[in-house]
């Protein structure tokens, strides 16, 4: 008898019911036995979910913006030496990814959110979906060429474009050329 003939014999009407019943009972037995097995020791305990929003250092962000803007503006024609001060409001925040699960009952639909956790090197951490930086409010820029209207306009437009703020929130002026010793003697004249 060939394999195909044996398979056909197993799958005839009478044996088909026995086979389905045997597979169903085997599946139920395996499910019941898996509940009796001890849990593995190397599984990590479920980590506490992190807060929905985490703060980051707004000063570090502000300083980085000031340095990058200073580098760019100092390379512009007619600007010369540059000092930049930027103001920011609020703190940055990190938004964590979450899984939303819904359960339906006779009382209505209930949803719950839980953070998406990543396992790396034996530790768990939450998956960051979005990082929001502090909002830039304004900028004061002093430069060697800041006494010239054309330079002021170019510096103002560049800063507005890079910082994403209106030109009315930017001040551009000239650096005081007097030395500190000279300015002390003339301060109250």
CATH code: domain 54-94+133-177 is 3.30.300.30
**pLDDT score recorded for residue 78:** 92
Burial class (CB within 10 angstroms; exposed 0-12, middle 13-18, buried 19+) of 134: buried
Is this prediction's pTM over 0.85?
A: no
Residue 93 pLDDT > 70, yes or no?
yes
Contacts for 178 with CB less than 8 Å, ≥ 6 apart: 186
Give the C-alpha separation, 91 to 123, whole Å. 27
The tokens of 102 are what? 């819904």
The Cα 185–Cα 42 span in angstroms is 74
Q: How does pLDDT run across 96-130, given as a tens digit for each residue? A: 888 888 877 777 777 777 787 888 888 888 888 88
pLDDT tens profile 47-90: 444 433 334 577 888 899 999 999 999 999 999 999 999 999 88
Where would I find the H helices in 11-148?
13-36, 58-74
Extended beta strands in the chain, E state: 53-56, 82-89, 92-96, 98-105, 108-115, 117-120, 123-126, 128-132, 135-143, 170-174
List the domain boundaries for the chain. 3-36, 54-94+133-177
Q: What is the pLDDT of residue 17?
A: 72
Q: For 170, list phi and psi in degrees, rounded to 5.
A: -125, 130
């Amino acid at each position: 008898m060939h394999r195909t003939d044996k398979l056909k014999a197993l799958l005839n009407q009478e044996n088909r019911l026995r086979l389905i019943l045997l597979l169903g009972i085997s599946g139920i037995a395996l499910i019941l036995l898996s509940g009796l097995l001890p849990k593995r020791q190397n599984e990590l305990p479920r980590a506490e979910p992190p807060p929905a929003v985490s703060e980051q250092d707004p000063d570090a962000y502000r300083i980085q913006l000031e340095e990058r803007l200073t580098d760019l503006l100092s390379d512009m024609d007619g600007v010369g030496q540059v000092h930049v001060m930027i103001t920011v409001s609020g703190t940055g925040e990190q938004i964590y990814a979450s899984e939303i699960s819904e359960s339906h009952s006779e009382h209505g639909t209930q949803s719950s959110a839980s953070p998406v956790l990543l396992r790396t090197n034996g530790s768990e951490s939450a998956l960051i979906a979005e990082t929001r930086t502090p909002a830039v409010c304004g900028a004061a820029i002093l430069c060697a060429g800041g006494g010239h209207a054309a330079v002021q306009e170019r510096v103002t437009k560049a800063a507005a474009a890079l910082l994403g703020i209106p030109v009315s929130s930017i001040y551009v002026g000239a650096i005081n050329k007097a030395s500190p010793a000279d300015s002390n003697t003339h301060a109250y004249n």
